[in-house]
Structure 1
Amino acid sequence: MGVRTWIEGWPVYRQLTGTDPLGRGAAAKSARSETLTARTETADSVARSVCPYCAVGCGQRVYVKNGRVTQIEGDPDSPISRGRLCPKGAASKSLVTGDLRQQKVRYRRTYATEWEDLNLDTAMDMIADRVLAARDETWEDVDDAGRPLHRTMGIASLGGATLDNEENYLIKKLFTAMGALQIENQARI
């Protein structure tokens, strides 16, 4: 490869001597980049979604190929974000496909040093039993003056911003129905 061939292949040379002085078109393309295709072009389907991280509600396009998420990008049709995502939203593919994501229920017993796998039904029953026990032990029917309270101070909820509005709404309804007063959300704090 001669010096002239190397210089002519250099993008800055093409930018300064060609028809693309800003380097946004042909000057920026290499032989390799000409053969590349976007991950979004080969997707089987595109689903519209909302970013799960905060209460802003930025629109996302989720690209799926062979039943697996291949890319998540901002939705340009979203009136909220107009195709833009913050760094967390842009990396939300790892929330779905990350290697470190737990795929099964893990439980560590009191004073144990190792985690064990539980089936989902067992874990849900354990949670329900503990919630009901805490509610029963701390239930306040009336105050000292005899005024009705119908509450428990033994249960609280701190919702996460990775839940959407509908999930947070249902959690709020559930905890209110159980008599809990301390209900808060990360997105509001």
Structure 2
Amino acid sequence: MGVKRWIGTWPIYRQLTGIDRLGRGKAAESARSAGLVPRTDTADRVADSICPYCAVGCAQRVYVKDEQVIQIEGNPDSPISRGRLCPKGSASKQLVTGPQREQKVLYRPPYGTAWQELDLETAMDMVADRVLDARRKGWQDTDGAGNTLRRTMGFASLGGATLDNEENYLIKKLFTSLGALQIENQARI
């Protein structure tokens, strides 16, 4: 490679000798960056979605290739967010594809030292039995003065911010219908 050709690879040289005097275009572009293409260009399809984290409802575009999510970005056509996402919304791909996401039901029995895998039906039956038992044991029909209460003090709910609005809404409705009073959410605390 000749000296002139070698110096021509320097961005400052291209900036001073070319038409891109401010170094905002081709002068600043390396050979590597010139060959890059967006990962969304290789997607088989794009699905419209909504960010699951808060009540704003930012629109998202979910890019799918070979039935796997490859990218999630804000939807610029959305009148709500105009293509912008907060840090949590920008990281929502890891909620779906992260290696830390559990794919099976794990259970550790009382005094157990290891987790066991359970089938979903068994786990759901265990949860339902325990909720109904706690409700029955903590049920209060009336107080000491005879006032009607119809509530349970046997359990409480603390919702998390990783759940979406619909999940938190349904959990609130479920626990209210079961007679629970202590229903709270992490986002409000």
**TM-score normalised by structure 2 residue count:** 0.91
Determine helix, strand or coil for the equivalent of 2:133.
helix
1:61 aligns with 2:61: yes
Residue by residue, what CA displacement relative to the aligned partner does 1:97-143 show, whole Å, maximum 9, x if unpaired?
Answer: 11121110111111111111111111101100110010000001111
Deviation of 1:24 (Å): 3.1
1:80 corresponds in structure 2 to 80
Q: 1:184 to 1:17 in 2, by over 3 A?
A: farther
How far, CA to CA, are the matches of 1:123 and 1:87 in structure 2? 33
Deviation of 1:176 (Å): 0.6
Which 5+ residue runs of structure 2 have no aligned equivalent?
Answer: none
Determine helix, strand or coil for the equivalent of 1:9.
coil
1:176 aligns with 2:176: yes
How far, CA to CA, are the matches of 1:154 and 1:7 in structure 2? 76
Determine helix, strand or coil for the equivalent of 2:46.
strand
2:163 corresponds in structure 1 to 163
1:90 aligns with 2:87: no
Which 5+ residue runs of structure 1 have no aligned equivalent?
Answer: none
How far, CA to CA, are the matches of 1:187 and 1:57 in structure 2? 16
Runs of 4+ displaced beyond 4 Å? none
1:136 aligns with 2:136: yes
Map 1:24-39; keep pairs closer than 5 Å: 24-39=24-39
Q: 1:139 to 1:161 in 2, by over 3 A?
A: same
Q: 1:122 to 1:112 in 2, by over 3 A?
A: same
Deviation of 1:175 (Å): 0.7
Q: CA RMSD in A?
A: 1.7
2:153 corresponds in structure 1 to 153
**TM-score normalised by structure 1 residue count:** 0.91
How far, CA to CA, are the matches of 1:15 and 1:183 in structure 2? 62
Q: 1:111 to 1:125 in 2, by over 3 A?
A: same
Q: 1:84 to 1:21 in 2, by over 3 A?
A: farther
Determine helix, strand or coil for the equivalent of 1:141.
strand
8 A Cα contact 2:52 2:165, kept in partner:
no
Q: 1:48 to 1:91 in 2, by over 3 A?
A: same
Percent identity between the two aligned chains? 73
How far, CA to CA, are the matches of 1:160 and 1:6 in structure 2? 57
Determine helix, strand or coil for the equivalent of 2:84.
coil
**One-letter code aligned to 1:113:** T
**One-letter code aligned to 1:98:** G
How far, CA to CA, are the matches of 1:14 and 1:153 in structure 2? 73
1:122 corresponds in structure 2 to 122
Deviation of 1:66 (Å): 1.1
1:9 aligns with 2:13: no
**One-letter code aligned to 1:91:** A
8 A Cα contact 1:55 1:187, kept in partner:
no
**One-letter code aligned to 2:49:** S
How far, CA to CA, are the matches of 1:150 and 1:135 in structure 2? 11
